[in-house]
């Protein structure tokens, strides 16, 4: 048991070092935008897709292309336009006169990293074709299913300032994206560095990973331990968007028309594991979940008409929920016999990282109160 735990810790340490090298290689090309770069890596390892929102020229396309170079995967770019057809993305059957038969011409969706540029410029039929491929990891051409490459990551971009000639993504389709990342303008110092680095001889990133390495890192992230108190905290965050009055936030009941779906819970769990792996830990802490909560939940919230008219910010709502739902107090110590990390929550038995926990139903405060929300026996305050 001791040897297995030591191997596990060594594997996590190697994975963390490898991810750090990959991120440094991306940042040799992309100036600033550290949050976007990290979230792209989180999406790749958590097998989730990203929606990048920002004005033109803030390195969205450059970051995706650079990430593809670093991880050694194939890359394709789809420029969405109003006249785009689903077959332009997925591919179609072509008649070959020489053989008197149809051949399948695969579309640009058959790549490891796919950049869907300005996804809101294409009509609903095209958006649905892309999102179906994202969910099923396959496309159907001529009655036959074709598997997409593994790993497969879609990074869609949209311009938030344009409203003419665009087709807004419906809420159900936005829910298919694991993370939504807002890409801001660079700071003055970062823009000065962009001029210095990119104006004459732009640097090129080198491949430090292969697709086999990426799949191995995905499996390592899947094995990271999640204490049931952390899982309970995660569920409390999602439930708070559906019943905010139970968490001392009655004023949000008129702001949130529809809370997040269970996909948000699954996404926070997977993304939290990858964040923990980046930090070199074999276990997930509540802070890892809180770090990705805004990117996971903000685009899934459906706000009421009055809230939208008043300019309510979904990210501000998520921050308010994070402040109202207390994080469980998790301490970590080393098992004296095996040397494996052991996570301990007050009032609960210790759990060793290699164990597979069962997740109890979360307890919520009574209506009108702001007490502790968490697993039975959990302590803490808002």
Domain CATH code at residue 241: 1.10.8.80
- Whether 30 and 115 map to the same domain: the answer is yes
Contact 167, 81 (CB under 8 A): no
pLDDT of residue 365: 47
- Whether 46 and 139 map to the same domain: the answer is yes
pLDDT of residue 343: 62
> For the whole model, what pTM was predicted?
0.81
DSSP state of 366: P
The more confident residue out of 145 and 264 is 264
pLDDT of residue 339: 53
The average pLDDT across 132-142 equals 82
Q: Does the pLDDT at position 337 exceed 80?
A: no
- Whether 178 and 231 map to the same domain: the answer is no
CA distance readout (Å), 50 to 46, 78, 183, 231, 296: 11, 15, 12, 23, 10
The DSSP bridge partners found for residue 147 are 138
- Whether 35 and 147 map to the same domain: the answer is yes
Q: How many domains does the chain have?
A: 2
Residue span of the structural domain in which 274 resides: 224-352
pLDDT of residue 7: 54
pLDDT of residue 334: 56
Provide the mean pLDDT of the chain: 81
- Band (pLDDT 50/70/90 cuts) for residue 340 is low
pLDDT of residue 378: 40
pLDDT digits (tens, 9 = 90+) for 144-190: 788 888 889 999 888 877 666 677 777 777 888 999 998 888 888 88
pLDDT of residue 346: 59
What angle, 0 to 180 degrees and rounded to 10, lies between the N-to-C axes of helices 2-27 and 34-46?
130
- Band (pLDDT 50/70/90 cuts) for residue 241 is very high
Domain CATH code at residue 193: 3.40.50.300
- Whether 232 and 333 map to the same domain: the answer is yes
Q: How, if at all, do strands 113-117 and 153-158 pair?
A: parallel
- Whether 257 and 162 map to the same domain: the answer is no
- Whether 167 and 231 map to the same domain: the answer is no
The DSSP bridge partners found for residue 341 are 334
Sign of CA dihedral 224, 35, 268, 363: positive
- Whether 148 and 253 map to the same domain: the answer is no
Q: Does the pLDDT at position 260 exceed 70?
A: yes
What whole-number percentage of the chain has pLDDT above 90?
Answer: 30
Q: State the Cα–Cα distance between residues 60 and 36, nearest whole angstrom.
A: 8
Omega before residue 151 within 30° of 0, cis: yes
pLDDT of residue 320: 93
Sign of CA dihedral 54, 21, 25, 75: negative
pLDDT digits (tens, 9 = 90+) for 66-118: 998 898 888 888 888 888 888 888 887 777 777 777 777 788 889 899 998 88
- Whether 57 and 174 map to the same domain: the answer is yes
- Band (pLDDT 50/70/90 cuts) for residue 345 is low
Contact 58, 184 (CB under 8 A): yes
Q: Quick one: which of 6, 9, 7, 31 has its CA closest to 283?
A: 9
């Amino acid at each position: 048991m001791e040897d297995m735990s030591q191997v596990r810790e060594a594997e996590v340490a190697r994975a963390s070092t490898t991810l750090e090298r990959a991120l440094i290689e991306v940042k040799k090309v992309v100036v600033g935008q550290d949050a976007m770069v990290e979230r792209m890596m989180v999406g790749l390892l958590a097998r989730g897709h990203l929606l990048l929102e920002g004005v033109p020229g803030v390195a969205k396309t450059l970051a995706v292309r650079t990430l593809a170079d670093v991880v050694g995967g194939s890359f394709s770019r789809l420029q969405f336009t109003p006249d785009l057809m689903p077959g332009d993305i997925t591919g179609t059957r072509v008649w070959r006169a020489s053989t008197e038969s149809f051949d399948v011409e695969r579309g640009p969706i058959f790549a490891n990293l796919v950049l869907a540029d300005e996804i809101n410029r294409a009509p609903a039929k095209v958006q649905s074709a892309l999102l179906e491929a994202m969910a099923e990891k396959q496309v159907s051409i001529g009655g036959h299913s074709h598997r997409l490459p593994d790993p497969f990551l879609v990074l869609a971009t949209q311009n938030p300032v344009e409203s003419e000639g665009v087709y807004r993504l419906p809420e159900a389709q936005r829910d298919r994206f694991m993370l939504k990342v807002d890409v801001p303008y660079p700071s003055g110092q970062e823009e000065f560095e962009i001029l210095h680095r990119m104006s004459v001889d732009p640097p090129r990133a080198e491949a430090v990973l292969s697709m086999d390495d990426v799949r191995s890192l995905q499996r390592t992230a899947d094995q990271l331990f999640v204490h049931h108190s952390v899982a309970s905290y995660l569920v409390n965050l999602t439930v708070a968007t559906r019943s905010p009055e139970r968490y001392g936030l009655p004023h949000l009941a008129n702001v949130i028309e529809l809370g997040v779906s269970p996909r948000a819970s699954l996404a926070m769990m997977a993304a939290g594991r990858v964040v923990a792996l980046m930090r070199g830990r074999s276990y997930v802490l509540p802070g890892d979940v809180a770090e990705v909560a805004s990117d996971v939940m903000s685009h899934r919230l459906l706000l009421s008409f009055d809230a939208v008219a008043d300019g309510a910010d979904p990210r501000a709502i998520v921050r308010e929920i994070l402040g109202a739902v207390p994080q469980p107090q998790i301490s970590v110590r080393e098992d004296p016999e095996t040397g494996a990390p052991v996570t301990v929550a007050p009032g609960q038995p210790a759990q060793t990282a290699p164990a597979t926990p069962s997740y109890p139903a979360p307890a919520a405060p009574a209506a009108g109160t702001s007490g502790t929300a968490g697993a039975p026996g959990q302590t803490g305050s808002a």
